[in-house]
Amino acid sequence: MNVLFSFNVAAKNGIFRFHTKCKETSLTYLCFADDLLLFCHGLLDSILGVVSILEKFYEFSGLRLNALKSELFVCGVPVSLLDQIQSAIGFKIGQLPVRYLRVSLVTRKLTSKDCSALLVKIKNRIDHWSSRKLSFGGRLQLVKSVLSSIFGYWSRQIILPKGVVNDIEKLCMRFFWKSSDTTARGARVSWSQICSLKSEGGLGLRRLVDWSKACCLMLVKNILAGEGSLWIAWIKDYCFKSLDYWNVDRKPHFSWILNKLIKLREEARRLFISVSIWPQIKGGWIWDRICDRRDKVGWHRLIWFPSHIPKFSIIAWMVILDRLPTKDRLARFGIVTVNVCGLCGDNQESRNHLFLECSFARVIWKAILHACGLQLQLLTCWDNAMHWMISNLKGEDFMELVGAHEKALSTIDAAETGTVAEQSIGEGPEGDDATESVYGKFQNGKEKWGL
């Protein structure tokens, strides 16, 4: 790194001239991993000055720049001069815009073509997964972890145009509902509801448009906090000059991203007006304040609890929202003509019938609830059923009751086969006392739950 710093010293000593837009910030190089970008004035003398520094580096380190792997990007340099420069240093002449890590480094608004690598990457992932017959739970997990992280990687580096963000969101939506890149017509739940918090009846995804805006506001926060980024130092020297973010106007020669950030000024004012300690402002803080909020729902803990099974939780989520493809709904859309329940054959198949009224389903429920130590209540109204479930089927008390019941039943089985006495010999607290304790818990639970 000390060697790279010698570029700054050389520029200040006149061995080569700074690039016109780099003098105020004394910028001569950028280095990332094993890539190096050097900036200088576009005259032959300056470029030869840079090459002489690289030769010095070679003399004491033995590391020589490979001219065949290096590119020269110029703007506003006459062709005749460019020929001279190229024959002197042997670098390839690169074409603007520069692409680094597959991202176009441009000051204008990015187009869909510029972001094609991102869209292709997401489409390839979807094509790869579409043949795997994934459940809704699996698809949700992939959208949440993989597709969102690809978007997050890009949006942290550049501000994506709204059209591109919408295209990516459409791909995520299609994959979630159809498991492929085909139109999500007939989606059972609106994407905006899916992208709300689980406690608000959604699936906890993020709206990418809001996410993109949060990234923009994070950049505004960095400008206001004056946090040590070269980009911030550069825009203060060459764009804001004597003004600050609150007073500078949008200008045609500013980059598209900078003009977009200035356009967000009123929103930024509302958001940051009371902020005094900038280091406390993180991405999550901004996100919590800009995303749309819905009313809380009382049932989310029924289906989203530690160690839940995503596949079943999403089915339960659709049941509660009444979005299962039951025959009454399919008949309304003209997809089926017979809407009689396939289990009992007596009534129309609807969500309420399937889960509350159907004689066949009630037998199943009775067996399941009995196995959990609960009794089936006579509930024919969905709202009452939800109220009963919210009151009885959640929380640690419920899990403890089910666990105690299960253990009690297994203990009874063991006692009936005469194995308890054998197991309790020499086991201390795991003997009869433990059995009593389990029964005690179970009995207490029954009293507490009014069973």
Q: Taking contact as CB under 5 A, which single stretch among the options 51-59, 90-98, 307-315, 335-343 is the one that binds Zn ion? A: 335-343
Q: List the beta bridge partners of residue 419.
A: none
Smallest separation (angstroms) from Zn ion to the CB of 381: 17
What is the Cα–Cα distance from 211 to 214, expressed in whole angstroms?
A: 5
Phi/psi zone of residue 62: left (φ > 0), alpha (ψ -120 to 50 degrees), beta?
left
Cβ proximity to Zn ion: between 221 and 353 the closer is 353
Q: State the binding string over 42-61 for Zn ion (x if CB under 5 A, else -).
A: --------------------
* Residue closer to Zn ion, measured from CB, 340 or 451: 340
- Closer Cβ to Zn ion, 315 or 343, answer by number: 343
Distance of closest approach, residue 352 Cβ to Zn ion, in angstroms? 11
Pairing of strands 71-72, 103-105: unpaired
- Residue 189: exposure state from Cβ atoms within 10 A (0-12, 13-18, ≥19): middle
Q: What angle do CA 119, 121, 127 make, to 5 degrees?
A: 100
Give whichever of 346 and 422 is closer to Zn ion, judged by the CB atom: 346
Report if residue 356 touches Zn ion, rule: CB under 5 A.
Answer: no
Name the segment binding Zn ion (CB under 5 A); options: 26-34, 57-65, 253-261, 342-350: 342-350
Say whether residue 344 binds Zn ion (CB under 5 A).
yes
**Residue 315 binding Zn ion, by CB under 5 A:** no
Q: How far is the CB of 332 from Zn ion (least distance, A)?
A: 18
Q: Which is nearer to Zn ion, 236 or 353 (CB)?
A: 353
User: What is the footprint of Zn ion within residues 76-105 (CB under 5 A)?
Assistant: none
Identity of the residue, 300 or 351, whose beta carbon is nearer to Zn ion in the bound complex: 351
Q: How far apart are CA 295 and CA 346, in angstroms?
A: 38
| Candidates 223-231, 263-271, 339-347, 411-419; binding stretch for Zn ion (CB under 5 A) | 339-347
Q: Which is nearer to Zn ion, 342 or 440 (CB)?
A: 342
Question: What DSSP string describes 373-441?
Answer: T-------SHHHHHHHHHHHS-HHHHHHHHHHHHHHHHHHHHHHTT-HHHHHTT-GGGSHHHHHHHHHH
Asked if 324 touches Zn ion (CB under 5 A), the answer is no
* Using rule CB under 5 A, residue 358 touches Zn ion: yes
Residue 206 or 351: the one with the smaller Cβ distance to Zn ion is: 351
First to last CA, the chain: 73
Is residue 343 part of the contact set for Zn ion (CB under 5 A)? Answer: yes
Distance CA 158, CA 152 (A): 10
Q: How many residues bind Zn ion (CB under 5 A)?
A: 4
Question: Tokens at residue 315, please?
Answer: 């089915």
Quick one: CA dihedral 229, 230, 231, 236, positive or negative? positive
Q: Which of 126, 341, 404, 438 binds Zn ion (CB under 5 A)?
A: 341
User: Would you tell me the crossing angle of helices 256-263 and 208-225 to the nearest 10 degrees?
Assistant: 90
Give the residues lining the site for Zn ion (CB under 5 A): 341, 343-344, 358
